[in-house]
Structure 1
Amino acid sequence: MTSTFPSVAKRPLHVRAPGAGPKPCKVCGSSAEFFGVQDFNRSCEEVRGQTLPPSGLAIAYRRCGACGLLFTDAFDDWSDEDFAAHIYNAAYGEVDPDFEVKRPVSNVAAVAPVFQAVREELEILDYGGGNGRFAEEMRGAGYPLTRTYDRFHPAHSVRPEGRFGLVTCFETIEHMPDPVAGAADIAAFVADDGLLIISTLLQPPDIEQQRMDWWYIGPRNGHVTLFTQQALAVLFARYGFRVLRSANANLHLLCRQVPDFARHLFAPGTQ
Protein backbone atom coordinates (compact mmCIF):
# COMPACT_ATOMS: atom_id res chain seq x y z
CA MET A 1 0.00 0.00 0.00
CA THR A 2 1.28 3.47 -0.82
CA SER A 3 0.18 6.77 0.61
CA THR A 4 -1.15 9.78 -1.26
CA PHE A 5 1.77 11.94 -0.16
CA PRO A 6 3.82 13.16 -3.12
CA SER A 7 7.15 11.60 -3.89
CA VAL A 8 10.01 13.96 -3.09
CA ALA A 9 13.50 14.06 -4.52
CA LYS A 10 15.97 12.19 -2.31
CA ARG A 11 17.41 14.42 0.42
CA PRO A 12 20.23 13.69 2.87
CA LEU A 13 18.95 12.15 6.11
CA HIS A 14 20.27 14.13 9.06
CA VAL A 15 19.12 14.53 12.66
CA ARG A 16 20.16 16.77 15.51
CA ALA A 17 22.66 15.25 17.94
CA PRO A 18 21.01 14.68 21.35
CA GLY A 19 23.66 16.42 23.45
CA ALA A 20 24.37 15.74 27.10
CA GLY A 21 22.39 16.58 30.22
CA PRO A 22 18.75 17.55 30.68
CA LYS A 23 16.87 19.89 28.36
CA PRO A 24 13.75 22.03 28.87
CA CYS A 25 10.43 20.30 28.32
CA LYS A 26 8.80 21.50 25.11
CA VAL A 27 5.46 22.01 26.89
CA CYS A 28 6.09 23.17 30.47
CA GLY A 29 9.77 24.12 30.42
CA SER A 30 10.75 21.83 33.30
CA SER A 31 13.79 19.58 33.19
CA ALA A 32 13.55 16.65 30.78
CA GLU A 33 16.09 13.87 31.24
CA PHE A 34 17.32 11.36 28.68
CA PHE A 35 14.84 8.47 28.45
CA GLY A 36 16.19 6.19 25.73
CA VAL A 37 16.80 5.70 22.02
CA GLN A 38 15.07 4.02 19.12
CA ASP A 39 16.26 3.36 15.59
CA PHE A 40 14.83 5.79 13.04
CA ASN A 41 13.13 2.92 11.19
CA ARG A 42 11.17 1.75 14.24
CA SER A 43 7.49 2.10 13.32
CA CYS A 44 4.17 1.48 15.04
CA GLU A 45 3.57 -1.46 12.71
CA GLU A 46 6.07 -3.53 14.67
CA VAL A 47 3.25 -4.31 17.11
CA ARG A 48 1.62 -6.12 14.15
CA GLY A 49 4.82 -7.94 13.24
CA GLN A 50 5.91 -5.64 10.39
CA THR A 51 9.56 -4.68 10.88
CA LEU A 52 11.74 -2.47 8.73
CA PRO A 53 15.50 -3.04 8.45
CA PRO A 54 17.39 -0.94 11.01
CA SER A 55 18.62 2.38 9.67
CA GLY A 56 21.53 2.56 12.12
CA LEU A 57 20.41 6.07 13.08
CA ALA A 58 19.61 6.36 16.81
CA ILE A 59 16.83 8.78 17.79
CA ALA A 60 17.06 9.95 21.40
CA TYR A 61 13.97 10.77 23.47
CA ARG A 62 13.67 12.71 26.74
CA ARG A 63 10.90 12.70 29.33
CA CYS A 64 9.82 15.66 31.46
CA GLY A 65 9.95 15.11 35.21
CA ALA A 66 7.00 17.46 35.78
CA CYS A 67 4.32 16.99 33.08
CA GLY A 68 5.64 13.72 31.69
CA LEU A 69 5.97 14.82 28.06
CA LEU A 70 8.08 12.34 26.08
CA PHE A 71 9.80 13.92 23.10
CA THR A 72 12.76 14.01 20.76
CA ASP A 73 14.49 17.06 19.39
CA ALA A 74 16.23 15.03 16.66
CA PHE A 75 14.02 16.56 13.97
CA ASP A 76 13.81 20.11 15.29
CA ASP A 77 15.96 21.41 12.42
CA TRP A 78 13.95 19.68 9.71
CA SER A 79 12.03 21.61 7.07
CA ASP A 80 8.67 20.52 5.69
CA GLU A 81 10.61 19.16 2.73
CA ASP A 82 12.70 16.97 5.02
CA PHE A 83 9.60 15.52 6.65
CA ALA A 84 8.01 14.94 3.25
CA ALA A 85 11.12 13.19 1.97
CA HIS A 86 11.90 10.93 4.92
CA ILE A 87 8.61 10.37 6.76
CA TYR A 88 5.52 11.48 4.80
CA ASN A 89 6.75 9.98 1.56
CA ALA A 90 5.42 7.37 -0.86
CA ALA A 91 6.28 4.59 1.61
CA TYR A 92 4.34 6.10 4.51
CA GLY A 93 1.45 3.71 3.94
CA GLU A 94 3.73 0.82 4.85
CA VAL A 95 4.16 2.13 8.40
CA ASP A 96 0.59 3.44 8.78
CA PRO A 97 -1.72 1.34 6.58
CA ASP A 98 -4.86 2.60 8.37
CA PHE A 99 -4.13 6.21 7.44
CA GLU A 100 -5.93 6.46 4.12
CA VAL A 101 -9.24 4.66 4.68
CA LYS A 102 -9.72 2.59 7.83
CA ARG A 103 -8.95 5.29 10.40
CA PRO A 104 -10.96 8.15 8.82
CA VAL A 105 -13.95 5.88 8.28
CA SER A 106 -13.86 4.70 11.90
CA ASN A 107 -13.53 8.31 13.07
CA VAL A 108 -16.66 9.24 11.15
CA ALA A 109 -18.49 6.35 12.81
CA ALA A 110 -17.51 7.83 16.18
CA VAL A 111 -18.23 11.49 15.43
CA ALA A 112 -21.17 11.64 13.01
CA PRO A 113 -23.85 10.20 15.32
CA VAL A 114 -22.97 12.64 18.11
CA PHE A 115 -23.91 15.95 16.49
CA GLN A 116 -26.92 14.98 14.36
CA ALA A 117 -29.06 17.82 15.71
CA VAL A 118 -26.76 20.45 14.15
CA ARG A 119 -25.27 18.49 11.28
CA GLU A 120 -26.47 20.81 8.51
CA GLU A 121 -25.13 24.04 10.02
CA LEU A 122 -22.09 22.85 11.99
CA GLU A 123 -18.88 24.10 10.37
CA ILE A 124 -16.17 21.47 10.81
CA LEU A 125 -12.45 21.55 10.08
CA ASP A 126 -10.44 18.33 10.08
CA TYR A 127 -6.95 19.58 10.95
CA GLY A 128 -4.14 17.36 9.68
CA GLY A 129 -6.71 15.39 7.72
CA GLY A 130 -4.39 13.98 5.07
CA ASN A 131 -6.23 12.86 1.96
CA GLY A 132 -9.55 14.36 3.08
CA ARG A 133 -11.36 11.05 3.50
CA PHE A 134 -12.80 11.98 6.91
CA ALA A 135 -14.33 15.18 5.52
CA GLU A 136 -15.63 13.35 2.47
CA GLU A 137 -17.32 10.70 4.62
CA MET A 138 -18.73 13.35 6.98
CA ARG A 139 -20.30 15.21 4.08
CA GLY A 140 -21.80 11.93 2.96
CA ALA A 141 -23.18 11.46 6.47
CA GLY A 142 -25.06 14.77 6.28
CA TYR A 143 -22.43 17.27 7.45
CA PRO A 144 -22.04 19.43 4.32
CA LEU A 145 -19.79 22.07 5.93
CA THR A 146 -16.82 19.81 6.64
CA ARG A 147 -13.39 20.77 5.31
CA THR A 148 -9.83 19.41 5.44
CA TYR A 149 -6.55 21.17 6.13
CA ASP A 150 -3.20 19.39 5.95
CA ARG A 151 -0.14 21.31 4.94
CA PHE A 152 1.64 18.11 3.90
CA HIS A 153 -1.05 17.08 1.42
CA PRO A 154 -1.17 19.02 -1.86
CA ALA A 155 -4.93 18.73 -2.25
CA HIS A 156 -5.60 20.29 1.18
CA SER A 157 -2.57 22.46 1.88
CA VAL A 158 -4.27 25.84 1.39
CA ARG A 159 -4.85 27.34 4.81
CA PRO A 160 -8.57 27.98 5.37
CA GLU A 161 -9.92 31.25 6.66
CA GLY A 162 -12.19 31.74 9.61
CA ARG A 163 -12.98 29.73 12.72
CA PHE A 164 -15.02 26.60 13.13
CA GLY A 165 -17.58 25.25 15.57
CA LEU A 166 -15.91 21.85 15.58
CA VAL A 167 -12.25 21.15 14.89
CA THR A 168 -11.10 17.55 14.74
CA CYS A 169 -7.43 16.63 14.95
CA PHE A 170 -6.86 12.90 14.62
CA GLU A 171 -3.40 11.40 15.17
CA THR A 172 -1.66 14.70 14.46
CA ILE A 173 -0.22 16.41 17.54
CA GLU A 174 2.19 13.56 18.25
CA HIS A 175 3.78 14.47 14.89
CA MET A 176 4.58 18.05 15.91
CA PRO A 177 8.22 18.79 16.80
CA ASP A 178 7.07 22.16 18.19
CA PRO A 179 3.92 21.32 20.18
CA VAL A 180 3.42 24.89 21.44
CA ALA A 181 3.36 26.34 17.93
CA GLY A 182 1.25 23.42 16.72
CA ALA A 183 -1.34 23.85 19.46
CA ALA A 184 -1.48 27.59 18.77
CA ASP A 185 -2.21 26.90 15.12
CA ILE A 186 -4.98 24.44 15.97
CA ALA A 187 -6.49 26.73 18.61
CA ALA A 188 -6.68 29.61 16.14
CA PHE A 189 -9.24 27.67 14.11
CA VAL A 190 -11.60 26.93 17.02
CA ALA A 191 -14.46 29.37 17.64
CA ASP A 192 -14.70 30.78 21.17
CA ASP A 193 -17.72 28.57 21.76
CA GLY A 194 -16.37 25.72 19.65
CA LEU A 195 -15.28 22.17 20.44
CA LEU A 196 -11.90 20.58 19.75
CA ILE A 197 -11.63 16.81 19.41
CA ILE A 198 -8.09 15.44 19.54
CA SER A 199 -6.97 11.87 19.18
CA THR A 200 -3.51 10.96 20.37
CA LEU A 201 -2.55 8.00 22.50
CA LEU A 202 -1.52 8.99 26.02
CA GLN A 203 1.40 7.28 27.68
CA PRO A 204 0.44 4.14 29.62
CA PRO A 205 0.64 4.10 33.45
CA ASP A 206 3.65 1.77 33.27
CA ILE A 207 5.67 3.89 30.83
CA GLU A 208 8.64 3.83 33.23
CA GLN A 209 8.64 0.04 32.98
CA GLN A 210 7.99 -0.18 29.23
CA ARG A 211 10.28 2.73 28.42
CA MET A 212 11.36 2.62 24.77
CA ASP A 213 9.53 -0.66 24.17
CA TRP A 214 6.19 1.19 24.15
CA TRP A 215 4.80 0.50 20.69
CA TYR A 216 3.66 4.07 20.05
CA ILE A 217 7.23 5.38 20.00
CA GLY A 218 7.73 5.23 16.25
CA PRO A 219 10.21 7.70 14.74
CA ARG A 220 9.47 6.36 11.24
CA ASN A 221 5.82 7.31 11.77
CA GLY A 222 6.87 10.80 12.82
CA HIS A 223 5.85 10.24 16.45
CA VAL A 224 8.11 12.87 17.97
CA THR A 225 5.99 14.26 20.86
CA LEU A 226 4.07 11.87 23.11
CA PHE A 227 1.70 13.11 25.79
CA THR A 228 0.39 12.44 29.24
CA GLN A 229 -2.99 13.79 30.35
CA GLN A 230 -1.15 16.51 32.27
CA ALA A 231 1.06 17.52 29.35
CA LEU A 232 -1.98 17.76 27.07
CA ALA A 233 -3.83 19.91 29.61
CA VAL A 234 -0.85 22.21 30.20
CA LEU A 235 -0.27 22.67 26.48
CA PHE A 236 -3.80 23.71 25.57
CA ALA A 237 -4.35 25.76 28.73
CA ARG A 238 -2.02 28.28 27.08
CA TYR A 239 -4.86 29.02 24.67
CA GLY A 240 -7.74 28.95 27.13
CA PHE A 241 -8.78 25.33 26.64
CA ARG A 242 -9.69 22.75 29.24
CA VAL A 243 -9.61 19.03 28.67
CA LEU A 244 -13.17 18.41 29.73
CA ARG A 245 -13.35 14.76 28.90
CA SER A 246 -11.16 11.95 27.66
CA ALA A 247 -13.38 9.21 26.30
CA ASN A 248 -10.41 6.86 26.52
CA ALA A 249 -6.60 7.04 26.39
CA ASN A 250 -6.79 8.12 22.74
CA LEU A 251 -9.76 10.51 22.38
CA HIS A 252 -9.96 13.89 24.12
CA LEU A 253 -12.55 16.70 24.09
CA LEU A 254 -11.40 20.25 24.78
CA CYS A 255 -13.09 23.63 24.76
CA ARG A 256 -12.87 27.15 26.16
CA GLN A 257 -16.54 27.00 27.10
CA VAL A 258 -18.93 24.16 26.48
CA PRO A 259 -20.85 24.83 23.25
CA ASP A 260 -24.59 24.34 23.30
CA PHE A 261 -24.40 21.69 20.58
CA ALA A 262 -22.04 19.58 22.73
CA ARG A 263 -23.56 20.09 26.16
CA HIS A 264 -25.09 16.62 26.11
CA LEU A 265 -21.56 15.15 26.16
CA PHE A 266 -20.69 16.53 29.58
CA ALA A 267 -21.98 16.25 33.09
CA PRO A 268 -24.84 18.55 34.14
CA GLY A 269 -23.55 21.91 35.35
CA THR A 270 -20.37 21.85 33.26
CA GLN A 271 -19.66 25.33 31.95
Structure 2
Amino acid sequence: MKIMEVCKICWANCICIGSVDKFKACSNESPFPLGKSGVNVKYWLCQGCGFIFTTDMDRFLSSDWQRDIYNDIYYSDVDKEYKAIRPDRQAAELAFILKPYAHVIKGLDFGGGNGKTAFNMRATGFDYISYDPHSSDKNVRIDPSVINFISAFEVFEHHPQPLELMRELIQCSNDERLVILICTSRLPNILRHTPLQWAYIAPRNGHISIASKNSMKIIAKRFSMKVFIIGNMHIFFKKNAWVIGAFIMLRIIYQKISKNIEFICNGILRKLACR
Protein backbone atom coordinates (compact mmCIF):
# COMPACT_ATOMS: atom_id res chain seq x y z
CA MET A 1 0.00 0.00 0.00
CA LYS A 2 1.37 3.39 -1.03
CA ILE A 3 1.94 5.62 2.00
CA MET A 4 3.67 8.56 0.30
CA GLU A 5 3.05 10.61 -2.83
CA VAL A 6 4.88 13.50 -4.49
CA CYS A 7 3.06 16.76 -5.21
CA LYS A 8 2.17 17.35 -8.85
CA ILE A 9 2.94 21.08 -8.51
CA CYS A 10 5.86 21.67 -6.14
CA TRP A 11 7.15 18.06 -5.85
CA ALA A 12 7.14 18.14 -2.05
CA ASN A 13 6.07 15.10 -0.01
CA CYS A 14 2.34 14.51 0.48
CA ILE A 15 0.35 12.61 3.07
CA CYS A 16 -2.82 10.62 2.58
CA ILE A 17 -5.80 12.40 4.17
CA GLY A 18 -8.21 9.51 3.63
CA SER A 19 -10.65 8.46 0.97
CA VAL A 20 -14.25 9.05 -0.12
CA ASP A 21 -16.68 6.95 -2.11
CA LYS A 22 -16.30 7.33 -5.88
CA PHE A 23 -19.95 8.45 -6.15
CA LYS A 24 -19.58 11.36 -3.68
CA ALA A 25 -21.01 14.36 -5.51
CA CYS A 26 -20.85 18.11 -5.04
CA SER A 27 -24.54 18.48 -4.25
CA ASN A 28 -26.51 20.82 -1.98
CA GLU A 29 -29.22 18.18 -1.60
CA SER A 30 -27.22 15.01 -0.90
CA PRO A 31 -23.58 13.96 -1.29
CA PHE A 32 -24.78 10.66 -2.79
CA PRO A 33 -27.64 11.34 -5.22
CA LEU A 34 -26.79 8.08 -7.01
CA GLY A 35 -26.13 6.04 -3.88
CA LYS A 36 -22.66 4.67 -3.09
CA SER A 37 -20.38 2.75 -5.44
CA GLY A 38 -18.41 0.84 -2.82
CA VAL A 39 -15.20 2.03 -4.48
CA ASN A 40 -13.01 4.49 -2.55
CA VAL A 41 -10.95 7.32 -4.04
CA LYS A 42 -7.83 8.28 -2.06
CA TYR A 43 -6.81 11.94 -1.67
CA TRP A 44 -3.39 13.39 -0.81
CA LEU A 45 -2.36 16.68 0.81
CA CYS A 46 0.92 18.35 -0.15
CA GLN A 47 3.00 19.32 2.88
CA GLY A 48 4.65 22.08 0.86
CA CYS A 49 2.02 24.06 -1.07
CA GLY A 50 -1.24 22.66 0.33
CA PHE A 51 -2.46 21.21 -2.97
CA ILE A 52 -5.00 18.36 -2.54
CA PHE A 53 -5.35 15.70 -5.23
CA THR A 54 -6.01 12.09 -6.11
CA THR A 55 -4.01 9.91 -8.49
CA ASP A 56 -6.82 7.39 -8.97
CA MET A 57 -7.93 8.94 -12.28
CA ASP A 58 -4.52 9.91 -13.64
CA ARG A 59 -4.64 7.22 -16.33
CA PHE A 60 -8.15 8.08 -17.54
CA LEU A 61 -8.56 8.58 -21.27
CA SER A 62 -11.26 10.86 -22.71
CA SER A 63 -13.45 7.78 -23.22
CA ASP A 64 -13.05 6.88 -19.53
CA TRP A 65 -14.14 10.37 -18.45
CA GLN A 66 -17.18 10.24 -20.70
CA ARG A 67 -18.12 6.74 -19.51
CA ASP A 68 -17.57 7.18 -15.76
CA ILE A 69 -18.05 10.91 -15.14
CA TYR A 70 -19.51 13.03 -17.96
CA ASN A 71 -22.35 10.70 -18.97
CA ASP A 72 -26.10 11.31 -19.25
CA ILE A 73 -26.65 10.69 -15.53
CA TYR A 74 -24.06 13.34 -14.70
CA TYR A 75 -25.97 16.03 -16.60
CA SER A 76 -29.40 14.98 -15.34
CA ASP A 77 -28.76 14.11 -11.68
CA VAL A 78 -25.26 15.22 -10.62
CA ASP A 79 -24.58 18.62 -12.20
CA LYS A 80 -27.97 20.20 -12.84
CA GLU A 81 -26.51 23.69 -13.43
CA TYR A 82 -24.37 22.50 -16.35
CA LYS A 83 -26.75 23.20 -19.26
CA ALA A 84 -27.81 26.79 -18.62
CA ILE A 85 -27.64 28.15 -15.06
CA ARG A 86 -23.86 28.14 -14.69
CA PRO A 87 -22.98 29.22 -18.28
CA ASP A 88 -25.44 32.12 -18.06
CA ARG A 89 -23.93 33.24 -14.75
CA GLN A 90 -20.37 32.89 -16.04
CA ALA A 91 -21.08 34.87 -19.21
CA ALA A 92 -22.76 37.66 -17.24
CA GLU A 93 -19.73 37.90 -14.93
CA LEU A 94 -17.27 37.84 -17.83
CA ALA A 95 -19.17 40.43 -19.85
CA PHE A 96 -19.15 42.82 -16.89
CA ILE A 97 -15.47 42.28 -16.11
CA LEU A 98 -14.29 42.64 -19.71
CA LYS A 99 -16.75 45.27 -20.95
CA PRO A 100 -14.17 48.10 -21.32
CA TYR A 101 -11.98 45.78 -23.43
CA ALA A 102 -14.76 44.25 -25.55
CA HIS A 103 -13.32 45.74 -28.77
CA VAL A 104 -9.89 44.09 -28.35
CA ILE A 105 -10.66 40.79 -26.61
CA LYS A 106 -10.15 37.63 -28.64
CA GLY A 107 -11.40 35.15 -26.10
CA LEU A 108 -11.33 31.41 -25.56
CA ASP A 109 -13.48 29.65 -22.97
CA PHE A 110 -11.32 26.61 -22.23
CA GLY A 111 -13.26 23.63 -20.88
CA GLY A 112 -16.42 25.45 -21.95
CA GLY A 113 -18.77 22.48 -21.66
CA ASN A 114 -21.69 22.84 -24.05
CA GLY A 115 -20.34 26.15 -25.38
CA LYS A 116 -23.14 28.28 -23.93
CA THR A 117 -20.82 30.64 -22.04
CA ALA A 118 -19.00 31.55 -25.27
CA PHE A 119 -22.33 31.71 -27.13
CA ASN A 120 -23.67 34.22 -24.62
CA MET A 121 -20.46 36.24 -24.86
CA ARG A 122 -20.81 36.47 -28.65
CA ALA A 123 -24.42 37.55 -28.19
CA THR A 124 -23.20 40.52 -26.12
CA GLY A 125 -20.66 41.58 -28.76
CA PHE A 126 -17.49 39.70 -27.77
CA ASP A 127 -15.27 37.70 -30.10
CA TYR A 128 -15.31 34.44 -28.16
CA ILE A 129 -14.99 30.71 -28.90
CA SER A 130 -15.30 27.58 -26.78
CA TYR A 131 -13.17 24.46 -26.48
CA ASP A 132 -13.83 21.38 -24.37
CA PRO A 133 -12.01 18.04 -24.74
CA HIS A 134 -15.08 16.13 -23.50
CA SER A 135 -17.79 17.75 -25.66
CA SER A 136 -18.65 18.57 -29.25
CA ASP A 137 -16.29 21.57 -29.01
CA LYS A 138 -13.25 19.26 -28.84
CA ASN A 139 -12.60 19.73 -32.58
CA VAL A 140 -12.87 23.52 -32.64
CA ARG A 141 -10.02 25.27 -34.44
CA ILE A 142 -7.97 27.48 -32.11
CA ASP A 143 -5.73 30.07 -33.72
CA PRO A 144 -3.04 30.90 -31.12
CA SER A 145 -2.01 33.98 -33.09
CA VAL A 146 -5.23 35.80 -32.16
CA ILE A 147 -6.21 34.55 -28.68
CA ASN A 148 -5.30 37.09 -25.97
CA PHE A 149 -7.71 36.14 -23.18
CA ILE A 150 -8.62 32.71 -21.83
CA SER A 151 -11.31 31.90 -19.30
CA ALA A 152 -11.33 28.54 -17.51
CA PHE A 153 -14.36 28.30 -15.24
CA GLU A 154 -14.20 25.29 -12.93
CA VAL A 155 -11.68 23.47 -15.10
CA PHE A 156 -8.67 23.28 -12.77
CA GLU A 157 -10.35 20.89 -10.35
CA HIS A 158 -11.16 18.45 -13.18
CA HIS A 159 -7.63 18.13 -14.57
CA PRO A 160 -5.23 15.47 -13.19
CA GLN A 161 -2.07 17.44 -14.06
CA PRO A 162 -2.29 21.19 -13.19
CA LEU A 163 1.07 22.06 -14.77
CA GLU A 164 0.08 20.37 -18.02
CA LEU A 165 -3.21 22.26 -17.96
CA MET A 166 -1.44 25.62 -17.62
CA ARG A 167 0.99 24.66 -20.38
CA GLU A 168 -1.93 23.81 -22.64
CA LEU A 169 -3.67 27.10 -21.84
CA ILE A 170 -0.55 29.10 -22.68
CA GLN A 171 -0.05 27.19 -25.93
CA CYS A 172 -3.50 28.37 -27.04
CA SER A 173 -1.99 31.84 -27.40
CA ASN A 174 1.40 33.31 -28.28
CA ASP A 175 0.37 36.78 -27.21
CA GLU A 176 2.80 38.34 -24.70
CA ARG A 177 -0.18 40.25 -23.30
CA LEU A 178 -2.09 37.07 -22.54
CA VAL A 179 -4.41 37.03 -19.51
CA ILE A 180 -5.85 33.78 -18.15
CA LEU A 181 -8.77 33.84 -15.71
CA ILE A 182 -9.08 30.58 -13.77
CA CYS A 183 -12.10 30.21 -11.53
CA THR A 184 -11.85 27.39 -9.00
CA SER A 185 -12.76 27.00 -5.33
CA ARG A 186 -10.11 26.61 -2.64
CA LEU A 187 -10.48 24.76 0.64
CA PRO A 188 -12.07 27.01 3.31
CA ASN A 189 -9.83 27.60 6.34
CA ILE A 190 -12.49 26.22 8.65
CA LEU A 191 -12.04 22.78 7.01
CA ARG A 192 -8.26 22.72 6.79
CA HIS A 193 -8.07 19.92 9.39
CA THR A 194 -11.01 17.94 7.94
CA PRO A 195 -10.79 18.58 4.18
CA LEU A 196 -12.71 15.47 3.10
CA GLN A 197 -15.82 16.87 4.78
CA TRP A 198 -15.87 19.62 2.15
CA ALA A 199 -18.62 19.06 -0.43
CA TYR A 200 -16.35 20.26 -3.25
CA ILE A 201 -14.07 17.23 -2.91
CA ALA A 202 -16.33 15.09 -5.06
CA PRO A 203 -14.96 12.42 -7.42
CA ARG A 204 -18.38 11.87 -9.05
CA ASN A 205 -18.13 15.47 -10.30
CA GLY A 206 -14.57 14.84 -11.46
CA HIS A 207 -13.12 17.07 -8.72
CA ILE A 208 -9.68 15.54 -8.48
CA SER A 209 -7.38 18.59 -8.06
CA ILE A 210 -8.07 21.07 -5.26
CA ALA A 211 -6.12 24.32 -5.42
CA SER A 212 -4.53 26.28 -2.61
CA LYS A 213 -3.34 29.87 -2.78
CA ASN A 214 0.29 28.76 -2.57
CA SER A 215 -0.12 26.14 -5.29
CA MET A 216 -1.54 28.76 -7.67
CA LYS A 217 1.37 31.11 -6.95
CA ILE A 218 3.86 28.31 -7.67
CA ILE A 219 2.13 27.52 -10.98
CA ALA A 220 2.40 31.18 -11.99
CA LYS A 221 6.10 31.27 -11.10
CA ARG A 222 6.86 28.09 -13.05
CA PHE A 223 5.51 29.72 -16.21
CA SER A 224 7.04 33.15 -15.61
CA MET A 225 3.66 34.70 -14.92
CA LYS A 226 2.10 36.72 -12.14
CA VAL A 227 -1.21 35.98 -10.46
CA PHE A 228 -3.80 38.10 -8.68
CA ILE A 229 -6.16 36.12 -6.42
CA ILE A 230 -9.59 37.42 -5.40
CA GLY A 231 -11.85 34.83 -3.81
CA ASN A 232 -12.16 31.96 -6.26
CA MET A 233 -10.85 34.06 -9.18
CA HIS A 234 -7.20 33.63 -10.22
CA ILE A 235 -5.92 36.13 -12.79
CA PHE A 236 -2.72 34.87 -14.45
CA PHE A 237 -0.94 37.29 -16.75
CA LYS A 238 2.27 37.76 -18.68
CA LYS A 239 4.58 40.57 -17.52
CA ASN A 240 3.53 42.76 -20.45
CA ALA A 241 -0.13 42.41 -19.47
CA TRP A 242 0.05 43.70 -15.90
CA VAL A 243 -2.11 46.75 -16.71
CA ILE A 244 -5.05 44.74 -18.00
CA GLY A 245 -4.46 42.13 -15.28
CA ALA A 246 -4.72 44.81 -12.59
CA PHE A 247 -7.75 46.35 -14.28
CA ILE A 248 -9.56 43.00 -14.38
CA MET A 249 -8.74 42.52 -10.69
CA LEU A 250 -10.32 45.89 -9.89
CA ARG A 251 -13.40 45.06 -11.98
CA ILE A 252 -13.83 41.78 -10.07
CA ILE A 253 -13.49 43.57 -6.73
CA TYR A 254 -16.03 46.20 -7.83
CA GLN A 255 -18.40 43.45 -8.98
CA LYS A 256 -18.17 41.64 -5.64
CA ILE A 257 -18.71 44.86 -3.66
CA SER A 258 -21.73 45.75 -5.81
CA LYS A 259 -23.27 42.32 -5.23
CA ASN A 260 -22.75 42.60 -1.46
CA ILE A 261 -24.33 46.05 -1.37
CA GLU A 262 -27.28 44.79 -3.43
CA PHE A 263 -27.69 41.81 -1.10
CA ILE A 264 -27.68 44.04 2.00
CA CYS A 265 -30.14 46.51 0.46
CA ASN A 266 -32.51 43.74 -0.59
CA GLY A 267 -32.38 42.32 2.95
CA ILE A 268 -33.25 45.72 4.43
CA LEU A 269 -36.14 46.19 1.97
CA ARG A 270 -37.54 42.74 2.82
CA LYS A 271 -37.46 43.54 6.55
CA LEU A 272 -39.19 46.89 5.95
CA ALA A 273 -41.84 45.22 3.81
CA CYS A 274 -42.62 42.77 6.62
CA ARG A 275 -43.41 45.51 9.12
TM surpasses 0.5 = yes
Structure 2 equivalent of residue 146 of structure 1: 128
Q: Report the Cα distance in structure 1 between the residues aligned to 2:7 and 2:41, rounded to whole angstroms.
A: 17
- What amino acid maps onto 2:171 in structure 1? A
> Could you tell me how far apart the structure 1 residues matched to 2:83 and 2:108 are?
17
Q: Which of 168, 180, 183 is 1:199 aligned to? A: 183
Q: How far did 1:260 drift? A: 4.7
Q: What is the aligned partner in structure 1 of residue 257 from structure 2?
A: none
Q: Which runs of 5+ in 2 are unaligned?
A: 251-275
Q: From 222, 228, 234, give the equivalent of 2:212.
A: 228
Deviation at 1:254, TM superposition (A): 1.3
Instruction: Give the partner amino acid of 2:212.
Output: T
Q: Distance in 2 between matches of 1:220 and 1:104?
A: 20
SS of the residue corresponding to residue 209 of structure 1 reads coil
Superposed displacement of residue 52, structure 1: 2.1
Residues 132 and 156, structure 1, Cα contact 8 Å, conserved in 2: no
- Contact in 1 for aligned 2:226/2:236 (Cα 8 Å): yes
In the TM superposition, residue 242 of structure 1 has moved relative to its aligned partner by: 1.5
- Structure 1 gaps of 5+ residues are 1-18
Listed as ranges, the matches of 1:11-26 within 5 Å are 19-26=1-8
Residue 29 of structure 2: aligned partner: 48
Aligned residue number for residue 239 of structure 1: 223
Structure 1 residues 84 and 72: CA distance shift in structure 2, 3 A: same
The Cα of 1:208 is off from its aligned counterpart by 3.0
**Structure 1 residue runs of 4 or more that deviate by more than 4 Å after TM superposition:** 259-263
Shift of 1:203: 1.2
Change (3 A) 1:160 1:104: same
Contact 2:107 2:148 in 1 (8 A): yes
Distance 1:117 1:212 in 2: 41
Higher helix share: 2
- SS, match of residue 83 in structure 2: coil
* Alpha-carbon distance in 1 for matches of 2:4, 2:79: 32
| TM-score (normalizing by structure 1) | 0.85
Report whether the alignment pairs 1:75 with 2:57: yes
In the alignment, the residues of structure 1 paired with residue 219 and residue 167 of structure 2 have an alpha-carbon distance, to the nearest angstrom, of 9
Match of 1:114, SS state, is helix
* Percent sequence identity over aligned pairs: 26
Q: Is the 8 A contact 1:151 1:158 kept in 2?
A: no
Q: Which amino acid aligns with 2:29?
A: R
Q: 1:112 to 1:264 in 2, by over 3 A?
A: same
Tell whether the 8 Å contact from 1:108 to 1:134 is kept in structure 2 after alignment.
Answer: yes
The normalised TM-score by structure 2 is: 0.84
Greater gyration radius:
2
The alignment's C-alpha RMSD in Å is 1.7
1:33 alignment partner in structure 2: 15
Question: 1:156 Cα deviation (Å)?
Answer: 4.0
**Deviation of the 1:236 alpha carbon:** 2.9
Alignment check: 8 A CA contact 2:235 2:249 kept: no
